[in-house]
Amino acid sequence: MGAIRTPRDKWIEEGLRALAAGGPEAVRVEVLAQALGVSKGGFYGYFRNRAALLEEMLETWERGVAEDVIQRIERDGGDARERLGRLFDFVETSETPVASAGVELAIRDWARRDEGVVPFLRRADNRRMDYLRELYRAFCPDDGDVEARCLITFSLRIGDHLIAADNGPCSRTEVLAAVRNRLLG
């Protein structure tokens, strides 16, 4: 009986974890194999080299934060406010290896230093903004209002993890709920 191979997606997930923890330099075949508890030989059954893994990690991230999330939100239907509500809930609670705040920030940092990463980031950001526009346009007739709501929503997703300031008399949860209510109002 042959050995069970570590699935391809496990290599990608572990690569994304390493990226979040230490940037692209931390994505090393030996380290990933050790973290997975396997030999590095299995890696080469799936990937030509480290560069191929990095590209698949970016493709997986792009799909995971854009199309996969959109399909998940759209699956249950409802009007635009209901779908936006589900999107807010999903983003607040989802910490998959692909959609974690750490991976998001690591990819943004990586794109600042490697222009080959920029197209993945730009496509993902544009797809997410286009989806937000579609939803907000359903109940906001003013294009300026739509753009403002989209930018606030998206900025909140990216920046909330970077803000260390206290929230005054309200908890962060209360502040986020108030922002959500204003955006969906």
Task: Name the residue among 12, 108, 23 with its Cα closest to residue 56.
Answer: 12
Q: Does domain 58-184 have CATH number 1.10.357?
A: yes
Domain boundaries, the chain: 58-184
Mean pLDDT, rounded, for 140-152: 97
Provide the mean pLDDT of the chain: 93
Higher pLDDT, 88 or 164: 88
Asked if residue 96 lies in contact with residue 154, where contact means CB atoms within 8 angstroms, the answer is no
Q: What whole-number distance in Å separates Cα of residue 131 and Cα of residue 172?
A: 26
DSSP 100: -
Would you say residue 172 has pLDDT above 90?
A: no
72-128 pLDDT, tens digit per residue, is 999 999 999 999 999 999 988 877 778 888 999 999 999 999 999 999 999 999 999
pLDDT band at 141 (very low <50, low <70, confident <90, very high): very high
